[in-house]
Amino acid sequence: MSDQGTYRPFSYYQLMETSLRELLVEKGIVTDADINAEVAQMRARSPERGARVVARAWLDAQYKKRLLANGTAACEELGLEIPALHLVVVENTPTVHNAIVCTLCSCYPRVLLGIPPDWYKSRNYRSRMVREPRAVLAEFGLRVPDSVQVRVHDSTADMRYLVLPMRPQGTEGWDEARLASVVTRDSMIGVAVPSAAGG
C-alpha cells in the first residue's frame, strides 16, 4: 500500500477532454497558451462583476431602467464586455421572486458571475427547480411567502439571466462599493436574498 499515491485512471469525460485538447493543439488549431489564457480568464471572472451592476441599479433609477430594458447594453456602460451574450435582468419586487435554472444543461451568466457552483449543474437542482421551486428555495434557507409569486426562468436558448434582488433594509446611505459587498452570487441566481449583514 506504500506506492499508490493518488493516481486514478481518467474518467470518460476527462479522457475525452484531454484527447480533444491534444488533437486541437497537434493540428495547430489552438495553442497551449490560448487554452491557458482562456482558463485564466474564466477563473478571473467572479460574482463581483454582477454585484457592481446590481449596486449601480440600486443607486441609480435611470440605470436600473436601462438595465431591465437591455441588460447587455447596461453592462457595457460599466465597462463590462459581454460578447455574444444577450442578458435579461429580472427584478425582484415585494410581490415577485425570480430564480434561474437551466434544465437542459447549465447555461449561466458566466461573464457576470464566473464559474457556476456545482449544485447549479446538478440534476437535482435542474429538475426540481422547475417542478417544486418553493421546496428547493426552502432548502437554500429561503422561504417565499405564498403571497409572493415565484417566477422561475428556464434558460433554454440564447438568453442568459441575472436576478436583480431587492435592496436590503438597513443599507440607507451606503455607497456603491459597500452595497456591492452584500450582493451574493446566490442572490443573483435567486436562491437567496441579500441582507445588510452580508453573506
CA angle 148, 145, 186 (to 5 degrees): 80
Q: Is 75 a catalytic residue?
A: no
Which of 75, 102, 155, 187 is an active site residue?
Answer: 102
Helix axes 12-26, 32-44, angle to 10 degrees: 130
Which of 19, 46, 105, 122 is an active site residue?
Answer: 105
Question: Is 110 near other proteins (CB under 8 A)?
Answer: no
Q: Is 102 a catalytic residue?
A: yes
Q: How does 10-36 read in b/e, with b if 16+ C-beta sit within 10 Å?
A: eeeeeeeeeeeeeeeeeeeeeeeeeee
Identity of the residue, 112 or 179, whose beta carbon is nearer to other proteins in the bound complex: 112
- Tell me which stretch binds other proteins (CB under 8 A): 29-37, 80-88, 169-177, 178-186: 80-88
> Minimum distance from CB of 82 to other proteins (Å)?
8
Q: Is 105 a catalytic residue?
A: yes
Q: Which residues contact 154 (CB under 8 A, 6 or more apart)?
A: 101, 102, 103, 130
Distance of CA 46 to the CA centre of its chain: 9
Question: Is 154 near other proteins (CB under 8 A)?
Answer: yes
Catalytic residue IDs: 102, 105-107
Residues forming the site for other proteins (CB under 8 A): 70, 72-73, 75-76, 82-83, 86, 88, 103-104, 130-135, 146-159
